[in-house]
Amino acid sequence: MAETTNSTIKAAAYTAGGTERERVDLPADLFDGTINMPVMHQAVKAYLSNQRLGLAYTKTRGLVTGGNQKPWKQKGTGRARQGSRRAPHWVGGGTVFGPTGRKYNQTIPRQIRALARKSALNARAREDALIVIDNFNYDKPSTKQLVSLIDALGVAGRKVLILTDGSKQNVFLSGRNLQRTHVMPYADVSTYHILWSDVVLVESNALGYELDTVAEKPRAAQAKSEAKSHRAAKAEAKAEAKAAKKSAAKKTAHKAEAKAAKPKAKSAKKTAAKKSAGKKKGK
């Protein structure tokens, strides 16, 4: 069933560098809280069905090579009469009622597609999983820059859908090598893509308004210091592990020496006892 809410929906906003901004109001005509589950199901089912090629194909007895000659004469052999070696009940014969290729295309009305996409966007907005980015201005493709943005938003490891204002080749090439990131124009997004993602990043211009420029906070220095501290902690842990291994090896060596010394002492005592016994007998 469809669910609607009248309250204005707000979304978190960030710059392309990952600096947090004030929360913004989403357009009321699109984000009115409508969530229609049956329509979304219909749209996703149609999208997945349209991805199928329907290439399964089998040959009937008329398409299999051979079988033109009668295997044996009709009467006098005592065997069942046969007319072709490519009959369906013969090994290597044709297939009866097998698939011969088909189309799985499904079409749904344009208004239903629009309602399904609107419902999917409202669902992500109500989950606070829709984030507005002020502007994706990439001078050149940079996967490192896009990964830093995803890390700054705290959505690393989740499926991220990035919707740009029109086709932006540099942004697309920046996210093409990321397994859980999909970049596409806002106008081309479907209900399936929105529901596939865990987080949706939308460019502000795609929603019909522009955000004022905000000064980026220096995150590179913080990231470097954090990386250095992390490396130092790793090095300390490795040094401690090596020291523990060395001390354990020394302990095992001392124990082995002690064990080896005990039989020698016993054998020395035995030889001394034998000598004393031999002297007593000689007397």
Domain hosting 256: range is: 219-265
Is the domain of 131 the same as that of 259?
Answer: no
For residue 10, is it within any domain? Answer: yes
Q: What is the C-alpha separation between 148 and 18, in angstroms, rounded?
A: 8
In a domain, 230, yes or no: yes
Per-residue pLDDT of the chain (283 residues; tens, 9 = 90+): 566 666 788 999 999 888 888 999 999 999 998 999 999 999 999 999 999 999 999 999 999 999 899 999 999 999 999 999 999 999 999 999 999 999 999 999 999 999 999 999 999 999 999 999 988 989 999 999 999 999 999 999 999 999 999 999 999 999 999 999 999 999 999 999 999 999 999 999 999 888 877 777 766 545 555 555 567 677 778 888 888 888 888 788 777 777 776 665 556 666 666 666 665 555 5
CATH of the domain at 32: 3.40.1370.10
Look up residue 109 and give its DSSP letter: -
Residue 214 lies in a domain: no
Number of domains making up the chain = 2
How far is residue 209's CA from residue 40's CA, in Å, rounded to a whole number? Answer: 27
**What are the CB-based long-range contacts (under 8 Å, 24+) for 56-60?**
56/99, 56/101, 57/99, 57/100, 57/101, 58/95, 58/98, 58/99, 58/100, 59/94, 59/95, 59/98, 60/94, 60/95, 60/96, 60/98
Q: Tell me, yes or no, whether 153 and 49 share the same domain.
A: yes
Same domain, 113 and 243: no
Q: Running DSSP on this structure, what letter comes out for residue 94? A: -
Q: Examine residue 96 and state whether it is found in any structural domain, yes or no.
A: no
Please indicate, yes or no, whether residues 199 and 224 belong to a single structural domain of this protein.
no
Query: Model's pTM, two decimal places?
Result: 0.69
Residues 158 and 121 both lie in one domain: yes
Q: Are residues 192 and 153 in the same domain?
A: yes
